[in-house]
Amino acid sequence: MVSILVVLGIAVVSGIFIMSLYNGLVGARNEVKNAWSSIDVQLKRRHDLIPNVIEAVKGYATHERQTFDDVIKARQQAASSSGSVEERAKAENALTRSMRSLFALAEQYPDLKASRNFIALQEELGATENKIGFSRQYYNDAVMRYKNRVEMFPGNIIAVLFNFQLEPFFQLEEAGDRAVPQVKF
């Protein structure tokens, strides 16, 4: 009778332990999905701002059609990308590069740089870029916590049993994106 109670107690404790591990993995996976949604919201906001920036610059630099076309194409690809995190990151990195060339073009037009509308759009886009950066950091932190739960013992056993898949980090694509900008006076 005592041995049956001991076995039953061990089974109950084991069941609670497994359930706790499983629930922790589900919570961590949901945190990753929530973090990705935060990035997605900020990316949508950036996609919505870009046409306004293009229109502001077009008024001053009408002969720079290739730069506008590159930004528009990159925006369309980024906005329509619904693939994996890696594919979305690649499209967003291409958009970031094309936006850099648009702002470099804007530097050539002093009247544009002084335009209130352009300054406001540039500030709003800069704030959005900061929010994207914070959202990416939160996402990568959530992915790290999730990966730790999936890969560390004993969570890895439960992860394999219930088919929990690893999530990728949102990384910069090119070494040039990691370079520290040079400031010269």
What fold is seen in the domain 2-170? de novo design (two linked rop proteins) (1.20.1440)
* Between residues 90 and 142, the one the model is more confident about: 142
pTM, entire model:
0.75
Distance, in Å, from the CA atom of 182 to the CA atom of 67, rounded to the nearest integer, reads: 23
Count CB-CB contacts under 10 A for residue 81: 17
* pLDDT, tens digit (0-9, with 9 covering 90-100), for 123-163: 888 899 899 999 999 999 999 999 999 999 999 999 999 99
* Between residues 173 and 156, the one the model is more confident about: 156
Distance, in Å, from the CA atom of 167 to the CA atom of 164, rounded to the nearest integer, reads: 9
Q: Which of 49-63, 64-78, 130-144 has the highest mean pLDDT?
A: 130-144
Distance, in Å, from the CA atom of 37 to the CA atom of 66, rounded to the nearest integer, reads: 32
Q: Indicate the domain borders of the chain.
A: 2-170
